[in-house]
Structure formats: structure tokens, C-alpha cells
Structure 1
Amino acid sequence: MRKMGIQKPKLSARREQLRVEQIPSDPETLRGIEVQNGDLRFTSGMQLATDDAVFTDCTFAEMDLSGASFVDTVFERCDFSNVEAGHADLLRCEFRNCKLTGANFDHSVVKHVRFEECDARYGSFSFSKLQAVQLEDSQFSESDFFECVLKDMKLSRSQLENANFRETDLAGVNLAGCTFERLEVTPSKIAACTVSKEQAIGFARMFGLLIHEES
């Protein structure tokens, strides 16, 4: 089966530039807008939804974004540290140079989403469905992908040290371009996963195999 490419956000040529104070305190769908240098934390706990939107240098840190819907949205240099975004829907989104340390996206649906130069250490996507998702030049060490459904996952030049992929089927996933010494996996679910020679040796040792050192 041919793999799908990652679709880019569909953005209109013209978007309304808003100052954060112009955003309503009970927003429904923020559509066709562009916000810079804004603190969105006043919307915490609301059913936040965006469509055809760009956020640059904005703060969402520690917000309650449970059930949020982000469609055709770009986040650049935004802070999502420790957000609670369980059961969120993300479609055709890009996170560029964003901080997502400790962010919780458990039980979410993530499709056609790209993380580029992001810091997502200690983040969690457990029990989520990730389709056509790319982690590029990003830090996902100590992150949690427990019991996820992965389809067309693309990983390149990213840190995955001690990330948790237990109970997640890694068939078809190429880990060779990522860096890690240890990865938490379920042995029965790593068949057909591509790894580098060094990573294969690490997995063998983790599973108790003895590596014969040639003289």
C-alpha cells in the first residue's frame, strides 16, 4: 500500500490580524486569523477551536485545552508547556520551534501534523491515533506513546531517548534516523520496524541477547 504524504495546512491568502485582546473571552472557532505575541491563557478550560489560523510567539502554557480542535493551523515559537489537551483533534497542523515539554495529548486524533525543531520532552500522546505525522529535528526524549495507533509515521533527526512505545505496533516505522540509547517497546510489536545497526545491537542487549565480539 502506498504511503500518504503529509498534507500542509490549508491557509487562505489573507487572514485577519488580531491582537490578543480582540479575541473574545468565549471563542467558538477562531477562523482566518493571525495572532502574534499573544497570551491565550485566558481561554483555558474553554472548547478552543481554530481553523485557517497562524499563531506566532504565543503562550498556551499550562492551559486546559481538553477537546480542542486545531485544523489548518500553524504554531511558530509558541509555548505549550504542560498543557492538558487530551481528546484533542489536530488536522493539517504545523508546530515550528515550539515548546511542548510536559504537554498531554492523550486520547487524541492527530493527522497530517508536523513537529519541526520542537522540544516535547516528557510529552504524552498515549492512546492516540497518529496518521501522517512527522517529527523532524525535535526533542521527544522521555515522551509517552503508549498503546498508540501509528500510520505513516515519519521520524527524522529527532531525540527519542527513553521514549515509551510499549503496546504500540511499530511495524513500518523507521527509527534509523533518530537518536536514542534506550527505547521502551513491546518485543512482540517491533517486527518490521527499521533500525540502524547500532540500534539493533541495543535492542538485542535490552532483550537479553549476548553479543559476540569478534576478535
Structure 2
Amino acid sequence: MQYTDVADSALQRDELQDLIGRHSGPLRLIGVDLSGVDLSRMALDNWVFERCTLVQTSFLGSRLEGTQWKNCRASLAIFEAANLLEAQFHSCDLNNTRWQRSKLSQATFTQCKLTGANFTHCASLGLSFSETLLNSAFLSGLSFARSVLNNLDFSDSDLSDTDFRKAELVDCSLAHARINGANFAGADLRGADLSGFRLNDAKLFKGAVISKAQASILLSELGLSVA
């Protein structure tokens, strides 16, 4: 796919629309500052965003299918109700972003910061995260079933009603997460940090596999030890 490069500038919505009018294909924005700009309901399918500043930028209801986001700073950005099918995010700061009701099927997040992000009510079939901070995020109802989850920090996040069936967690943290209604049947939690949970929380992990060390921590509350 051929791109038209736009580099090292600060743009407003009307300037971006002018660029779209003058170029038939997708744009590749490199080092462009769009902080606080309202880009809601724009058609930006297959665009590439590299090292862009997108703090508080609004993509509400925008078409962002097949987009690529690399090393962008986009804290507090709004992606609500956007179409992000097969979008790829790599090494982006997406802290406190909003994704409610967005279409995220087959989207990928790698080495990203998503602290406090809100993913409630998303279409998330095939959505994947790797080596990503998701602490204090809102992930209620998402499905990670049959996935290998690598180096994810879910600490203090809302994982209520989340599907972890037959998932394998490798170097992950569930510390102090809210997991009411989550399904862990067949999940391998031996590579997860379960600190902050008490023995009476153990029923929430029904059907999961945990290690002897994890079981010992839970049982220690009763003054028991596993030999």
C-alpha cells in the first residue's frame, strides 16, 4: 500500500480534511501534533500514525480500520464507538483512553501503556494484548478465552465477567483486581501474581490451575502450610 507522508507539523481538523481532499490514498503522519483536535466521525482507514502527539484527541465514531499506531503519545484520547478492526498499536502511551462501544476485533496492543483505559461494551473478538500495562483499566466482559497472555499487568483493574477460560497467563499480574463473575475454567494461573486475594476469594478462581506456592499463600491465612 502506498502512503503520502506528512511530517513534523501541527494540524487542525480542516487542514487534515484538506490533505484528504488532495490525496486519494491513506496518509502516514510522522511526528504530527493533533493534541485536543476533534477528529470525530472521520474516515481514516489504513492510516499510519508514527510518533504522533494525540493527547485528548477525539476519534469518536471514526473509521480507523487497519490503522497502525507506533510510538504515539495519546493519553486521554477518545476512541469511543470507533471502528478499529485489525488496528495495530505498538509502544504507545494510551493511558486513561476511552474505547467504549468501539469495534476492536482482531486489534493488537503490544508494549503499550493502557493504565485506566476503559474498554467496556467493546466488540472484542480476537482482540489481543502483549507486554502491556492494563492496571486500573476497565475490562469488564472482555474475552481472553484460549489465549496466551504474556506479561500483562491487570493489577487493580476491573475484570468482572471477563472470560479467561483455558487461557494461559505468563508473567502476568492479577493483584487486587476485581474478578466477580469472571470465568477461569481451565485457565493456567501459575504464571500470575495473585497477591491481594484471600482464601474466601478462591472460589472466584474455580476451575483454574494454580501452583503449590500460590495455594500456600491462600492457605496461610488459616495458619496452614503446604508441605
Give the TM-score normalised by structure 2.
Answer: 0.74
CA distance in 2, matches of 1:86, 1:132: 24
- Which of residues 182, 202, 206 in structure 1 aligns to 2:217? 202
My pick for the range that moved more, 62-71 or 178-187, is 178-187
- 1:104 pairs with 2:118: yes
1:83-122 equivalence runs, <5 A:
83-122=97-136
| Correspondence for 2:205 | 190
Over aligned residues, Cα RMSD in angstroms? 2.8
Match of 2:32 in 1: none
Letter in structure 2 aligned against 1:122: S
Counterpart secondary structure, 1:137: strand
Gaps of 5+ in 1: 1-13
Q: Where does 1:1-215 land on structure 2 (aligned, <5 Å)?
A: 14=1, 16=3, 18-19=5-6, 21=11, 23-24=16-17, 25-41=39-55, 43-44=57-58, 46-131=60-145, 133-151=147-165, 153-183=167-197, 187-205=202-220, 209-212=222-225
**Kept after mapping to 2: 8 A contact 1:63/1:84:** yes
Deviation track 1:52-105 (CA, whole Å, cap 9, x = no partner) reads 221111122112322233211111111111112222221112211111111111
Q: Which moved more, 1:129-138 or 1:162-171?
A: 129-138
User: Which structure is higher in RCO with an 8 Å CA cutoff and minimum separation 6?
Assistant: 1
Where 2:218 maps in the other structure, the secondary structure is helix
TM-score (norm 1): 0.77
SS of the residue 1:109 aligns to: coil
Q: How big is the shift at 1:209?
A: 4.7
Q: Could you report, residue by residue, the CA deviation over 1:144-203 in whole angstroms, capped at 9, with x for unpaired residues?
A: 101223455342112222122111121021111222323488554432211111112233
| C-alpha displacement of 1:204 | 3.6
Q: Quick check: which one's strand share is greater?
A: 1
Pair 145,26 (structure 1): closer, same or farther in 2 beyond 3 Å = closer
Find the residue that maps to 2:106 and give its secondary structure: strand
Q: How many pairs were matched up?
A: 199
Distance in 2 (alpha carbons) for counterparts of 1:44 and 1:181? 37
What secondary structure sits across from 2:132 in the alignment?
coil
Sequence identity, in percent? 21
Amino acid aligned to 2:117: A
> Quick check: which has more Rg, 1 or 2?
2
